[in-house]
């Protein structure tokens, strides 16, 4: 177990497109203590423990947590499991919640990578997305983060926004690049069931780009960001050299991680793999911890076929792709032999360079369709 995800499911205001497990509330005073208790219960269940190489505080809005409390959770994780001296310790932060003092304290508590949910640097788009911050606050958050000593700064950029144009995206990309991030996560807006955006969309009140506009936006991002030295290392993620998010790579490489907090998932790379999940229910979480039972539940035990499919499903999201030699060693047969029809139907969208099998850029644009051929 060498990755740790900690979920902080609290936000000042719920964004109308968001279906992550998070509630509009302040963080309860005892929440950090609950996380420590959860870590203790997980540690007692896991016979083999190794020091964490990556830790990720996600949400929700982890930057609402007092830095000293976050430091206590990290200390408990270090006591129970250990944390590598060069561990990547990331925190998602909302630009509307940050002060220089807090950022300095987060840095001092051990956070060494900041992921800012900027989404856009265009005020009208931020309002449409229901964000609590404006473009100026986002710019200021970047400046303060650098001043506080964060030399690994990632920004989230959202595209395919309602009513957006390629020219507006072009302007947004330019504005993002002026902030000189180390990492950019670029997600097209998706309309998730149960969200206010879904209701607006169903009534025809949310003008979203069509497939061609989406493809043009995806290609524009790729062209502009790679021209500026970013590697497009995963469908939605770009990084300067050496600045890939090591924690997220762990997910795509099917390596073990422990998830703490309601709504968090864990993956154990034992045998063909096991996936566990903590129900997204704050009351249930608290009562299970009170009873001294680990709140996580096993939701999937993979067989060989499931592990093969997931190796492809996750690995082909990355530019590295899947190592065909390792795949054959692990599963006893080649990808072509196991999935002949899917490989043949992917055609030139699937390319092999040395031992790496990966999708081309155009293949990534058709990812959902192409990967379904392997399922």
Site residues, ligand SF4 (CB under 6 A): 11, 14-15, 18, 20, 22, 59-61, 94, 117
Are the CB atoms for 173 and 220 separated by under 8 Å?
yes
Residue 97 CB, nearest distance to ligand SF4 (Å)?
9
Which residues does 274 contact at the CB level (< 8 Å), separation at least 6? 267, 268, 298, 300, 301, 302
Comparing CB distances to ligand SF4, the nearer of 9 and 67 is: 9
Judged by beta carbon, residue 18 or residue 166, the one nearer ligand SF4 is: 18
Q: Show the tokens assigned to 251.
A: 């997910």
Yes or no: say if 172 and 178 are a contact pair by the CB < 8 Å rule: no
Nearer to ligand SF4, 92 or 172 (CB): 92
CB of 18 to ligand SF4, least distance (A): 3
Nearer to ligand SF4, 195 or 328 (CB): 195
Compute the least distance from the CB of residue 132 to ligand SF4, in Å.
Answer: 8
Q: What span, in angstroms and rounded, lies between the C-alpha atoms of 192 and 37?
A: 33
CB of 90 or CB of 94, closer to ligand SF4: 94
The residue (of 15 and 89) whose beta carbon lies closer to ligand SF4 is 15
* CB-CB contact of 121 with 161 (8 Å): no
Nearer to ligand SF4, 14 or 222 (CB): 14
- The residue among 288, 263, 291, 293 whose CA lies nearest residue 277 is 263
Give 155: exposed, middle or buried? Use CB within 10 Å, 0-12, 13-18, 19+.
buried
157: left (phi over 0), alpha (psi -120 to 50) or beta: beta
In angstroms, the CA 110 to CA 330 distance is 37
Shortest Cβ 133–ligand SF4 spacing (Å): 10
d(C-alpha 188, C-alpha 322), whole Å: 24
**Residue 236 CB, nearest approach to ligand SF4 (Å):** 15
CB nearer to ligand SF4: pick between 197 and 374: 197
Phi and psi for 190 in degrees, rounded to 5?
-120, 145
- With a CB cutoff of 8 Å and minimum separation 6, the contacts of 176 are 118, 121, 155, 157, 184
Nearer Cβ to ligand SF4 (53/164)? 164
> Dihedral of CA 285/287/292/297: which sign?
negative
Cα–Cα nearest to 296, from 23, 77, 46, 65 = 46
In the complex, least distance from residue 60 CB atom to ligand SF4, rounded to whole angstroms:
5
Q: How far is the CB of 14 from ligand SF4 (least distance, A)?
A: 5
Q: Is the peptide bond before 99 cis (omega within 30 degrees of 0)?
A: no
Minimum distance from residue 10 beta carbon to ligand SF4 (Å):
8
Q: How far is the CB of 296 from ligand SF4 (least distance, A)?
A: 21
Going from the C-alpha of 180 to that of each of 23, 146, 176, the distances in angstroms are 32, 10, 7
């Amino acid at each position: 177990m060498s990755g740790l995800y900690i979920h902080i499911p609290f936000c000042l205001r719920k964004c109308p497109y968001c279906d992550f497990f998070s509630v509009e509330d302040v963080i309860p005073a005892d929440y950090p203590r609950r996380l420590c208790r959860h870590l203790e219960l997980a540690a007692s269940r896991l016979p083999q423990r190794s020091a964490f190489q990556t830790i990720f505080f996600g949400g929700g809005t982890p930057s609402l947590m007092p830095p000293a409390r976050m430091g206590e959770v990290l200390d408990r994780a270090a006591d129970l499991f250990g944390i590598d001296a060069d561990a990547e310790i990331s925190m998602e932060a909302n630009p509307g919640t940050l002060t220089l003092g807090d950022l300095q304290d987060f840095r001092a508590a051990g956070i060494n990578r900041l992921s800012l949910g900027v989404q856009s640097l265009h005020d009208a788009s931020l309002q449409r997305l229901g964000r609590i911050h404006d473009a100026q606050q986002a710019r200021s958050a970047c400046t303060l983060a650098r001043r506080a000593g964060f030399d690994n700064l990632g920004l989230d950029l959202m595209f395919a926004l309602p009513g957006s144009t390629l020219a507006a995206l072009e302007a947004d990309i330019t504005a993002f690049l002026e902030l000189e991030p180390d990492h950019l996560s670029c997600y097209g807006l998706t309309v998730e069931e149960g969200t206010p955006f879904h209701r607006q969309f169903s009534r025809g009140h949310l003008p979203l780009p069509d497939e061609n506009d989406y493809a043009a936006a995806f290609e524009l991002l790729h062209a502009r960001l790679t021209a500026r030295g970013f590697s497009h290392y995963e469908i939605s993620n770009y990084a300067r050299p050496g600045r890939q998010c090591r924690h997220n790579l762990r997910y795509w490489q099917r390596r073990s991680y422990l998830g703490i907090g309601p709504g968090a998932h864990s993956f154990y790379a034992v045998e063909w793999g096991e996936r566990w999940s903590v129900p997204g229910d704050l009351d249930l979480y608290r009562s299970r911890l009170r009873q001294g039972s680990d709140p996580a539940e096993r939701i999937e035990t993979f067989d060989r076929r499931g592990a093969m499919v997931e190796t492809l499903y996750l690995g082909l999201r990355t530019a590295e792709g899947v190592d065909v030699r390792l795949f054959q060693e692990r599963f006893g047969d080649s990808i072509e032999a196991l999935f002949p029809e899917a490989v043949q139907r992917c055609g030139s969208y699937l390319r092999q360079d040395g031992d790496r099998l990966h999708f081309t850029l155009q293949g990534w644009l058709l990812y959902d369709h192409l990967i379904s051929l392997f399922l």
